[in-house]
Amino acid sequence: MKCTRIIIAGDLMPMPCNYELFSKGDTQALFGKKLCDLFASADFRICNLEGCFTDSDQPIEKIGPSIKAPTETIRAVKALGIDFASLGNTHSMDYGRQGYLDTCRTLTQNGIGFFGWGENASSVKSHIEMTDGARRIILYNVTERFENAPQRDYPGVNLYDEYMVCRELKELRAQCDFLIVLYHGGIEGTHCNSETMRRRFHRMADNGADVVISQHTHAVGEEERYNGAYLLYGQGNFCFHFRSDVTPLLAEGLILELVIDDDGFSAKPHRILRTDSGCRYDEAQDLSGFYKRSKTHERLLLGDEGAREEFEDQFGKDCANWAGIFFSLFRGTNPCDAEKRETLGPAEFTEYLMNSYSRSQLLGIQMFMRNEEFNEIGRRILSDLLKKKQ
């Protein structure tokens, strides 16, 4: 049986700065010849679509950005040869039911398969199958909870529940030759994974995943080989120009090339660099930072205390970047009247609270309490502050 070559790209979504190029289908201007050739060389091409393809102007009520692109911008995604797109992510439900319907229709009309979400809680499509001759390959997509949960009569994504996910992966692995998991989660902007992420990735590998890739962080993390599986903690962006300015570490991404044959598989990361309107193949392929973090990660797993401290220190610094947002949400609109609060009875205090916070702040507090990423950020920020108060 011949080998199967698969290209997996990270977060992709047209933005106002490149809408015109995406609408024209101008992949050469967006990605350059070498990247286009790399995609063309593959048997299958996969990406995470970080938003909706819709012309709706009615986003859901939430804190933070709502991300969409005009339906016509799908042309460059199709021209690049994308075969399958994961949609279990942070922003796929930003425009509610209409965004869901428009995105499904747009992808279907352009021959792009999709998975990771569904029209209600009982019909979420967690995976999709690719066949190459007699070889069966399954793509599985799961995400942490954001403003994206499916309901009995409302669309949403495949949410991470460890018991359900591991059980399903074990069943799927028995039905295929190769199983790839696209996990959407982690802490945005972090280059060192957390203990939570390591535990989840190991359990998914223990239950049959051959490859597990973390998207969503918009940052390149590290790789690990565990129990015969390849784990990539943080792929970084492919083409996702949500912010106009980014640090050098956030301006890089990885494209993962998998080659599967009868004897096993190989995993090769290709470094890409952000441009003003797209991205380019890094001719130097400078992966030194990636491999250095991966070596530290390997030492950490072997019990090296210095490596653990290095990871924890960097993880804490990355989380601390969110401190300003975290405390501004809890401050409310009247931060200076603590004395007044002490004079209020229970009913008066409830009324006071309602008037002290804007709706946007309450949505933000809800986000920190409910969403896994921000819940972890909040715990870490408070833990570090308490240590300093000792």
Residues 263-299 have pLDDT tens digits of 999 999 999 999 999 999 999 999 999 999 999 999 9
For residue 353, what pLDDT band results from cuts at 50, 70 and 90? confident
Query: For residue 336, what pLDDT is reported?
Result: 67
The CA angle 213-214-216, to the nearest 5 degrees, is 140
Q: Which amino acid is at 47?
A: C
Does position 91 have pLDDT exceeding 80, yes or no? Answer: yes
CA gap 127, 137 in Å, rounded: 10
The CA angle 97-69-27, to the nearest 5 degrees, is 135
Query: For residue 348, what pLDDT is reported?
Result: 81
pTM for this model (two decimals): 0.90
Query: For residue 237, what pLDDT is reported?
Result: 96
* For range 168-184, the mean pLDDT: 98
Handedness of CA 370, 151, 237, 241 (dihedral sign): negative
Q: Which domains does the chain have, with CATH numbers?
A: 4-305 (3.60.21.10), 322-388 (no CATH)
Q: Which amino acid is at 46?
A: I
* For range 1-16, the mean pLDDT: 95
CB 60 within 8 A of CB 24: no
Beta bridge partners of 156: 118
Does position 363 have pLDDT exceeding 90, yes or no? Answer: no
For residue 383, what pLDDT band results from cuts at 50, 70 and 90? confident
Query: For residue 389, what pLDDT is reported?
Result: 85
Question: How does the average pLDDT of the chain come out, rounded?
Answer: 93
CA distances from 24 to 19, 89, 277 (A): 9, 26, 14
Weakest mean pLDDT among 63-72, 175-184, 214-223, 241-250: 241-250
128 alpha-carbon distance from chain centroid: 18
Tokens found for residue 266: 């190989």
Query: For residue 108, what pLDDT is reported?
Result: 98
For residue 332, what pLDDT band results from cuts at 50, 70 and 90? confident
Query: For residue 335, what pLDDT is reported?
Result: 66
Contacts of 256 (CB under 8 A, 6+ apart): 7, 8, 211, 213, 232, 235, 267, 268, 269, 270
Query: For residue 60, what pLDDT is reported?
Result: 94
Query: For residue 259, what pLDDT is reported?
Result: 98
